[in-house]
Structure 1
Amino acid sequence: MPGPSQLDDPLYAGIAWSRYWRLMRWMTALTFLCVIAALGFLYYAHGLVSVHMYIAAAAGVGFALLLTSALMGLVFLSSGTGHDDCIDDPVSRDISPDE
């Protein structure tokens, strides 16, 4: 039987989710800076090639960084709140060799 999670407590869950969204706001700002740096590098290296290349590069860099930060933020949320420790893990049980 899985144990209770700290995220079941509304006060603790509110604190944890506010920390997650604060991390996401910082990562969004950093993503914008990285997109600007990537577009600047592309312009420096290749000049004005096509507006479509710059749109695709901005969308690709932005999507990749935001998706990565969202997923890693959820991993930190799950681990930091003890949500990972409250599962019922059948693999960790001792199994005798006769079974």
Structure 2
Amino acid sequence: MKAMTGHDIDNPAPANPGISSFALARYKRLMKWMGAASFATAAIGLLIMKIVLGTVPIHMAIATTLGVFFTVLLAATLMGLVFLSSGSGHDEDVRDRFDEDHQ
């Protein structure tokens, strides 16, 4: 089955390479900033835990720091991928197979 654009649905044509490279560069820049923000959030979480609990066992400090860091970084990565998909033009290539107007 061919889409209206003339390319195969299961093997779509690539999006505009210029727009895709710009979106990927923006995504990489976003991830650098979010890596720093994740580190800062983990440090603040560790500081708050130290203030509230006093002496913190090393294993609890490591687990909490890594948990906060990777949770914030994962959320940023997934949201960044949503914006990357939208910004690179891949979302416009998607077509609903059950849409009756295009059959």
Fold-level similarity (TM above 0.5): yes
Shift, 1:40, TM fit? 0.4
Query: Which 5+ residue runs of structure 1 have no aligned equivalent?
Result: none
Q: What is the CA–CA distance in structure 2 between the aligned matches of 1:89 and 1:36, rounded to whole Å?
A: 45
Q: Which residue of 2 aligns with 1:94?
A: 100
Letter in 2 for 1:94: E
Under a length normalisation based on structure 1, what TM-score does the superposition of the two structures give? 0.82
Shift, 1:87, TM fit? 1.4
Shift, 1:90, TM fit? 1.3
* Structural mapping, 1:73-88, within 5 Å: 73-88=80-95
Shift, 1:46, TM fit? 0.3
Task: Pick one of 49, 53, 64 that aligns with 1:57.
Answer: 64
Q: What is the CA–CA distance in structure 2 between the aligned matches of 1:57 and 1:17, rounded to whole Å?
A: 31
* Structural mapping, 1:28-39, within 5 Å: 28-39=35-46
CA RMSD in angstroms, aligned pairs only: 1.8
The structure carrying a bigger helix percent of its residues is 1
Q: Which residue of 2 aligns with 1:14?
A: 21
Q: What is the CA–CA distance in structure 2 between the aligned matches of 1:40 and 1:14, rounded to whole Å?
A: 39
- Contact 1:6 / 1:83 at 8 angstroms: preserved in 2? yes
Shift, 1:5, TM fit? 4.4
Q: What is the CA–CA distance in structure 2 between the aligned matches of 1:23 and 1:84, rounded to whole Å?
A: 20
- Contact 2:42 / 2:65 at 8 angstroms: preserved in 1? yes
Q: What is the CA–CA distance in structure 1 between the aligned matches of 2:93 and 2:14, rounded to whole Å?
A: 6
Off by >6 Å, runs of 4+ in structure 1: none
- Over the matched positions of the two proteins, sequence identity in percent amounts to 39
Range moving further from structure 2, 36-45 or 78-87: 78-87
